[in-house]
Amino acid sequence: MPITSYDDMKEKKGEILRSLINLAKVVDSLNDMGLAINGEALLDLKNKLDNDNFKVLVIGEFKNGKSTFINSLMGEKVLPAYSTPCTAVINEVIYGKEKRATLYFKNPLPKEMSSDIQPSAMRHIKNHENHEIPPIMVDVDDLVDYVAIPDPTKDQADSIKELPYSKVVLEYPIELCHDGIEIIDSPGLNESGTRTKVTEEYLNHADAIVFVFRCPKIAGASEMDYITDQIHARGHNDIFFVCNAINQVSEDEQDRLIKFGNKKLMPLTTLGEQGIFYVNALGALNAKKNKDNEALVHTGIPEFENALSDYLRNNKGKAKLLQIITPGKAFIENLRTQYIKSYIASLNQSVEELENRIRNAMPQLNSAKERKEIVAGKIDLAMQNLQNQIRVLMDAQFGAIIGKIPDFVDDMDLDNHMTANPFKQKSKREALEKEVIAKMEQFVQKEMGTWIKTDLQETLDVFIDKLENDLGTDIDVFYNKLDEFRCEVSGVKTLRNISGFERVSGTILGTIVGGPMYGALGASLGLGEMAKRSAVTLGASFTAGAVLAFTPLGAAAITTAATAAILGAGALQLVTGGSSLTKKYKNQLKNSFIDKLKESREEACKNYAANIANDVNEKFDLVNKALDNEIEMENSKIAALKNDRDKNSDKREKMLVLLQQCEHELDLIEGTLTNISNSIA
Ligand SMILES: Nc1nc2c(ncn2[C@@H]2O[C@H](COP(=O)(O)OP(=O)(O)OP(=O)(O)O)[C@@H](O)[C@H]2O)c(=O)[nH]1
Ligand SMILES: [Mg+2]
């Protein structure tokens, strides 16, 4: 049965929360007996359950009506929306009883800051100079002074970059958000990678992506690229498409547009036609404000709201609950097999016998420890190799792209041209510079993007498979030794038919802090698959930055170098006509761009490789942690058993009873969790 309502979801969350609390009590009782069980994972799960809102990220090109669309969902003009490029800062709209806006600052602050920053914000920054700037509350009615692009006549990229704010969290007493939905408004996407960086960080954490077009301009080439290169690459294949301002298309043309839109967009979302909406956001906002239900029905917004709500509850809500239930159950299983059962068995032995057993079994534990060191060493070495391999590969790719630039620039069609008219030369030249550089940057990004999805992904896949295989053998040996040790100490033989790797995963889920890195994704995909995915999506967002590391300061250098070269040649003085001048200038820009790329090549490849290797390492480091954890667990058991040495048989009896009670309690909690997961399956 699906999750029927947000209340139903809340109720299930409550039940899970109670289970976690009961589980924590069992851990406390066991720790009171002297076992050192790390309950941090439970706290982690509880925090996740408490704070896990549904995050709906709204993105799209400048001025498509994103802010207006969000306002229309909320039924109030909460976010500033104007006809000039507007939203400059991420806005997170969440539920709050009182209207409240909190402004967060970038860390570090931009080197050069806009001169249009609010004096109060500027004073706040000055007061905290050289430190991380704490957030401040701002008046909701003054929001526009902070979140909107200060001067729409200026270059938007620069304006956004020069702002000291990282985001605004807007609390608002809105029904929609009361259900745990958080809506994120983002600055419009634009052709230059640097402008969209702010938004991309949010892509990784979104539960639903709403991509806004503005009719009749649907699914332009750059938007399509963005969807495949950035959104799909992060594993979001179920995108909601909202084609806004449908009312601005004449009625007799709407059908044609809808057909066209569906055909273009359907292949881009697994939600199919159910994920594509044609709406009039402004109309819906007004209808809601005027409580005019009749008008609202025709805006397309109610259909969208229902679809989003269903999707969030049944798709994401289910996943979110399972992200808590699955690790919770793994935790229980771990407690039961690794602690309680073997502890009971040990208590049933005499003290001398037990000490004897531990002594005899020590070599097994020691060889497990040695094997663990081998695994750690192999991971270390593998990461160095991976880093080198990626660096070399990327360097070759970099070279290949540089080689392709001249042809690309020769074939480039331009909207801007040089002029021989001395009065217009400067402005024309600047427009041309912008266009040529932006196009070259896009070309490099696109080529790199393709490389990531093909060559880099394949290399990583092969590498990680091989590493998993190699480590798998050692991890099996590790667990065999550990099992021998446990069996020898407790006299209980636990037969297991699962591989060492699966047991590592169980341990990660069960007793060590899984964190955001190892949620349901890790549980269902396994460590290696997760490492493969995450490195490549990381790659997708990181290449632009790495390859074009020289922008934006470098962009100035490119144009300066090109201008100098062309002035040196006296070309601007020659009245040779616009087109030949354009060509000359274009070539100069190309040469400077290539020079810059060559300059940054080594550094960029080095950094990029290090980043990817680090990411993979983070995942494999969990193996290390898991094995460490297993060993620590045995050490704590030995210590606890030794402690019990002097206890009389009466006390032992009591402990046995307590342990059995714990076991019973675990059965009950597990039952509850299983029921919940069955009910949402
Ligand atoms: N007619 C009509 N106008 C709309 C609609 N949606 C938005 N607009 C107008 O379009 C302009 C831009 O809307 P915004 O909501 O600011 O667009 P945005 O995508 O948030 O813009 P940026 O933040 O600059 O990226 C505003 O003047 C809106 O009133 C619509 O459905 N119909
Ligand atoms: Mg906006």
Determine contact, residues 165/89, Cβ cutoff 8 Å.
yes
182: β partners: 55
Segment 141-145 mean pLDDT: 81
Give the pLDDT band (50/70/90) at residue 248. very high
CA atoms in the 13 A half-sphere facing the CB of 30? 31
pLDDT at 520 over 50: no
Segment 363-370 mean pLDDT: 92
CA of 268 to the centre of ligand 1 (A): 24
Sign of the torsion angle spanned by Cα atoms 544, 550, 551, 557? negative
86-123: per-residue pLDDT in tens?
Answer: 777 889 999 889 999 999 988 778 777 777 778 888 88
Task: Report the pLDDT value the prediction gives residue 529, as an integer from 0 to 100.
Answer: 67
pLDDT at 282 over 90: yes
Cβ–ligand 1 contact at 80 (below 6 Å) = no
Determine contact, residues 88/148, Cβ cutoff 8 Å.
yes
Cβ–ligand 1 contact at 300 (below 6 Å) = no
Residue 170 φ then ψ, to 5°: -110, 115
> Judging by beta carbons within 10 Å of its beta carbon (0-12, 13-18, 19+), is residue 595 exposed, middle or buried?
middle
Segment 336-345 mean pLDDT: 81
Task: Report the pLDDT value the prediction gives residue 307, as an integer from 0 to 100.
Answer: 92
Determine contact, residues 101/140, Cβ cutoff 8 Å.
yes
Distances (CA, A) of 657 to 22, 653, 654, 664: 18, 6, 5, 11
Cβ–ligand 1 contact at 68 (below 6 Å) = yes
pLDDT at 342 over 80: no
Which residue spans within 190-270 are E strands per DSSP?
208-214, 240-244
Give the pLDDT band (50/70/90) at residue 6. confident
The rounded percent of the chain whose pLDDT value lies above 90 is 27
> Judging by beta carbons within 10 Å of its beta carbon (0-12, 13-18, 19+), is residue 263 exposed, middle or buried?
exposed
Task: Report the pLDDT value the prediction gives residue 561, as an integer from 0 to 100.
Answer: 60
Helix (H, G, I), strand (E, B) or coil at 207: coil
Nearest ligand atom owner, CA of 156: 1
Residue 132 structure tokens: 């991380």
Task: Report the pLDDT value the prediction gives residue 200, as an integer from 0 to 100.
Answer: 67
Determine contact, residues 673/63, Cβ cutoff 8 Å.
no
149-170: per-residue pLDDT in tens?
Answer: 766 666 666 666 677 888 899 9
Cβ–ligand 1 contact at 282 (below 6 Å) = yes
Neighbours of ion ligand 2 (CB under 5 A): 66-67, 86-87
From the CA of 280, give the closest atom in ligand 1: 31
Query: Which of 57, 59, 61, 63 has most ligand 1 atoms within 8 Å of CB, for mutation?
Result: 63
Residue with CA closest to ligand 1 atom 6: 65
pTM of the model: 0.73
59: β partners: 211
Closest CA to 445 of 196, 611, 257: 196
CA of 67 to the centre of ligand 2 (A): 4
Residue 328 structure tokens: 């919770």
Q: What is the spatial distance between Cα 609 and Cα 542, in angstroms, rounded to a whole number?
A: 11
Which DSSP state fits 572? G
Q: Is the model more confident about 570 or about 643?
A: 643
Task: Report the pLDDT value the prediction gives residue 666, as an integer from 0 to 100.
Answer: 95
Query: Which range among 144-148, 410-414, 482-486, 531-535 shows the weakest confidence by mean pLDDT?
Result: 531-535
Mean pLDDT score of the chain, rounded to an integer?
Answer: 81
Residue 270 φ then ψ, to 5°: -75, -10
Q: What is the spatial distance between Cα 45 and Cα 42, in angstroms, rounded to a whole number?
A: 5
CA of 63 to the centre of ligand 2 (A): 7
Query: Which of 58, 68, 154, 279 has most ligand 1 atoms within 8 Å of CB, for mutation?
Result: 68
pLDDT at 524 over 60: no
Residue with CA closest to ligand 1 atom 9: 65
Determine contact, residues 91/180, Cβ cutoff 8 Å.
no
Cβ–ligand 1 contact at 244 (below 6 Å) = yes
The rounded percent of the chain whose pLDDT value lies above 70 is 82
pLDDT at 552 over 50: no
pLDDT at 553 over 60: no
Determine contact, residues 534/615, Cβ cutoff 8 Å.
yes
Residue type, 259: K
Name the strand (E) or helix (H) holding 413: none
Residue 60 structure tokens: 């799209």
220-242: per-residue pLDDT in tens?
Answer: 887 888 888 778 877 788 899 99
Q: Is the model more confident about 533 or about 541?
A: 533
Query: Which range among 336-340, 439-443, 516-520, 623-627 shows the weakest confidence by mean pLDDT?
Result: 516-520
Segment 558-570 mean pLDDT: 58
Residue with CA closest to ligand 1 atom 13: 65
